[in-house]
């Protein structure tokens, strides 16, 4: 399990990338992640702010680019 922090988009993304690396090294072909893995739990009203949405998408793009060389 990852220690994800609310609104720590960069840190959460780095921990996600590390866990993907570890899963691949262990021979996994599929990695299951929990809901709100990018944003972290406890964002409360921040989910209503447009920058939370923007940072979430930016983090997802960065994860995909890093993993798939896009």
Rounded CA gap, 24 and 4, in Å? 20
pLDDT band at 69 (very low <50, low <70, confident <90, very high): low
Question: pLDDT of 12-56, one tens digit each?
Answer: 999 999 999 999 999 999 999 989 999 999 999 999 999 999 999
What is the pTM for the complete model shown? Answer: 0.88
- Tell me the DSSP string of 14-64: HHHHHHHHHHHHTT-S-----TTTTT-S--GGGGGSHHHHHHHHHHHHHHH
């Amino acid at each position: 399990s990852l220690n994800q922090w609310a609104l720590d988009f960069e840190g959460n993304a780095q921990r996600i990338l590390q866990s993907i690396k570890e899963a691949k090294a262990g021979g996994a072909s599929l990695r299951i992640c929990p809901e709100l893995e990018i944003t972290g739990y406890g964002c409360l009203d921040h989910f209503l702010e447009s920058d939370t949405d923007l940072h979430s998408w930016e983090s997802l793009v960065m994860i995909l680019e890093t993993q798939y060389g896009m």
